[in-house]
Amino acid sequence: MTLLLKQIFGFVKLLNSETGTNQIAAGIAAGFVLGMTPFFSLQSILIFLCLFLFRVQIGAAFIAAFFFKFVAYLFDPAFDSIGGMILQMHSLSGVFTDMYNMPIVPLTRFNNTIVMGSGVVSLILAPFVYLGSRIGVIKYRATVVARIKGSKLWHALKATSLFKWYYKYDQLTHR
């Protein structure tokens, strides 16, 4: 829980800084794929492994996954139709039969309509989500963050000794 909170605080901090735009965007895209997957399966483990090994903002991924989990529920009927259509494609039946009889691959539960539908849709949309969230983060920084930094309240807060003390502490911990 502490680790999760740390990641979420890290996300908020990074979002309000001037760096890590790609990390945040990649995290949101990964969270999007994670949130769209209905069950805990092999591909979920693979995404978690990527989050762990690559410099992707984990907090962003978690928040995005949490958000998209609710959104995905609304699209389940559509995923079911798309997944069913793909799984029943005659031209792919040989491939699916081979995959079904392979070791490990059935653990992805690709033969479930919602897993297949949501997987295909989320993989297709993931680059767009990445680009969209990148643009969104840049615009957020340019408008919202800049406006906050220009406000009197922010200046007053910066002048307090508590803020100075925190800033020093933060610099020391990240050195």
- Residue 34 tokens, joined: 């994670």
Using alpha carbons, list the distances in angstroms from residue 30 to 43, 55, 94: 11, 12, 30
Question: Per rule CB under 8 A, is residue 101 in the interface with another protein?
Answer: yes
Q: Using an 8 Å Cβ cutoff, are 100 and 61 in contact?
A: no
Contact 87/113 with Cβ under 8 angstroms? yes
Kindly state whether residue 41 participates in binding another protein, applying the rule CB under 8 A. Answer: no
**Applying CB under 8 A, does 79 fall inside the site for another protein?**
yes
Q: Is 91 among the residues that bind another protein (CB under 8 A)?
A: no
Check residue 70 for interaction with another protein (CB under 8 A): no
Question: Which residue's structure tokens are 């907090």?
Answer: 59
Q: How far apart are CA 121 and CA 15, in angstroms?
A: 27
- CB-nearer residue toward another protein: 112 or 133: 112
Q: Could you list the residues that contact another protein (CB under 8 A)?
A: 19, 38-39, 52-55, 76, 79-80, 83-84, 87-88, 93, 96-97, 100-101, 103-104, 106-107, 109, 111-115, 117, 155, 158-159, 164, 167-168, 171, 174-175
